[in-house]
Amino acid sequence: MRFLADMGVSLRVVEWLRQRGDDVVHLCDEGLQRLPDDDIFAKAIAEKRIVITFDLDFGEIVALSGDSLNSVIVFRLRNARPEHVIARLEVVLEESERALLEGAVVMVEESRHRVRALPVGR
């Protein structure tokens, strides 16, 4: 899978994804630390990448994007240690890969995750 990791995502999480064989770009890899959220989403669409973020604004950005089927994984975790994020992400990818490839917003919480198919309302 192809991912774009937002600034709040640990480089250890990025490395774990790369070890799995995924194609991952972290914003800091390209010197884009200050890129506005709308531009991050536009980059993800252009490069066909799933956004991984802790920024709740991305749920709204996706909803307002209309017909975009670009997926976003949003973490809503109290425990943001890389080991915990990786454990939660592993479950999400195992259980929701198809939805992510078809277009979805996945909200990841401590003990569950919710998948919303895109476009919102379908």
pLDDT in tens, 20-70: 999 999 999 998 988 998 899 899 999 999 999 999 887 777 766 665 678
Count the helix, strand and coil residues of the chain and give each as a percent rounded to the nearest 5: 45, 20, 35
Contacts of 22 (CB under 8 A, 6+ apart): 1, 2, 3
**Residue 60 confidence (pLDDT):** 72
**Residue 62 confidence (pLDDT):** 73
**Residue 58 confidence (pLDDT):** 74
Taking Cα atoms as reference points, which of 84, 60, 64 lies closest to residue 74? 60
Bridge partner list, 74 = 53, 107
**Residue 63 confidence (pLDDT):** 66
- pLDDT band, very low/low/confident/very high, at 18 (cuts 50, 70, 90): very high
Distance CA 58, CA 36 (A): 11
**Residue 29 confidence (pLDDT):** 93
**Residue 120 confidence (pLDDT):** 65
Give the pLDDT mean for 1-7. 96
Q: How would CATH label the architecture of 2-117?
A: 3-Layer(aba) Sandwich (3.40)
pLDDT tens-digit series, residues 81-118: 999 999 999 999 999 999 999 999 999 999 999 998 88
Distance CA 88, CA 61 (A): 23
